[in-house]
Amino acid sequence: MSQFLQHLINMLVLGGTYALLGIGLTLIFGIMNVVNFTHGVLYTFGAYIMFIVVHQLGVNFFLALPLAVVAGWLLGAAIELTLLRPLRGSDIDTTMLVMIGAWIAMQSGALWIWGGVAKSVTTPFPEAPLVLGPVSVSWLRLFVLAAAAMLIVVTYLLINKTKLGGAMRATFQDRDTASLMGVNVDLIYTSTFAIGSSLAAAAGALLGPVYVIFPQMGDLAAVKAFAIVILGGLGNITGAVIGGFILALAEELGAGYVSSGYRDAMGFLIIIAVLIFKPTGLFARSERVG
């Protein structure tokens, strides 16, 4: 029983960051119809920004986090302005190829700048974990969960309660009509991509200190993000959040009770099942685009 509780705690902590990864990707796909292959690199970028800001500039850990989010936002905006804006109106395959190229170029850039050897970030949290009866969890991971939850709520409010969010949702439903209603679609696209990118960078900045940081760290993260997005339905933010927790649960229970060798396969087995039985995702809306 205590093992099961421990798996549940692990699932909550892991699920929070998976959700964060998923919503950034699903937002960009839903609104822009762009399959963002640079998502994993932006995750890596966020982690390296943490490393640079904390270790090379000597800035406080808690101050470094918002800096990483801002850096992710700026890089996302730059990618949108230089790569995606000139390609607007071209078919999804062309955009996909350009994004794959950007992914490879940026990952090689990270390798060139920082080298292949993993780096780690020291945190101000105590080494001793928080013990709650039979289960225990590190303070750093609790902080990561809290920060991820906060970012998810902020994103939700931004999309559902603000004017920008309203314009984003209008663009999502019908780009041409939104444009006719006076929505600046170019601005919406840049904002969407920048927000999605900053969420990926935030996930990297939060998880980098938990694990270790290296140029290819984003690859597995991106694969999981795609899995979550498929699970939750493309373009569905609530679906991505729930999908993140389902994937984490499948991995934890799969590794704990089936076989740890197939831990990373568990999530994908679920996705195959979802694609067979409910191909639009578990929580897809009927008017979904793309």
Partner 1 sequence: MKRTFRIVPAIALAVAVMGGVAEAQTIKIGVNEPLTGAFAASGTYVVNGAKIAADEINAKGGILGKKLELVIEDNKSNPTEAAAVAEKLITSDKVPVLMGAWGSSLTLAVMPKLMEYEVPMVVETSSSGKITTTGNPFIFRISPPSAIEAAAFKGIVDKLELKKVDFLVINNDWGRGTAEDFSKMMKEKGITVGSIETMDQGAQDMSAQLSKLKGTDSETIIVTTAVDQLTLIFKQAAALGLKKRIITTGGSQNPDQIIAQAGAAANGTMHLTTFLPWFPDKTPNPEATNYFIAEWKKRGYDFAGCTESFRGYDGIRTAAAAIEKAGKAEPAAIKAALWEINIKGLNGDIVFKKSGPAGKESGQSQPNVYLIEIVDGKIGMKTL
- Measured from the Cβ of residue 161, the count of other Cβ atoms closer than 10 Å reads 10
Residue 14, interface with partner 1 (CB under 8 A)? yes
Return the bridge partners of 137, or none.
130
Judge contact between 37 and 100, C-beta under 8 A: yes
For partner 1, the binding residue among 7, 171, 192, 241 (CB under 8 A) is 7
For partner 1, the binding residue among 60, 173, 184, 260 (CB under 8 A) is 260
Our CA angle for 122, 127, 133, nearest 5°, is 145
Residue type (1 letter), 129: P
For partner 1, the binding residue among 58, 93, 131, 163 (CB under 8 A) is 131
- Comparing CB distances to partner 1, the nearer of 67 and 140 is 140
For partner 1, the binding residue among 33, 138, 179, 280 (CB under 8 A) is 138
For partner 1, the binding residue among 6, 33, 179, 280 (CB under 8 A) is 6
- Comparing CB distances to partner 1, the nearer of 151 and 217 is 217
Return the bridge partners of 136, or none.
131
Residues 6+ apart with CB under 8 A from 151: 20, 199, 202
Residue 261, interface with partner 1 (CB under 8 A)? yes
Residue 227, interface with partner 1 (CB under 8 A)? no
- Region of 184 (left: φ > 0; alpha: ψ -120 to 50; beta: rest) is beta
Distance separating alpha carbons of residues 172 and 168, to the nearest angstrom: 6
CB 118 to partner 1: min, Å: 5
CB 59 to partner 1: min, Å: 21
Both structure tokens of 157: 């409010």
Residues at the site binding partner 1, with contacts judged by CB under 8 A: 2-3, 6-7, 10, 14, 111, 115-118, 120, 127-129, 131, 136-138, 141, 211-212, 214-217, 220, 251-252, 254-256, 259-261, 263-264
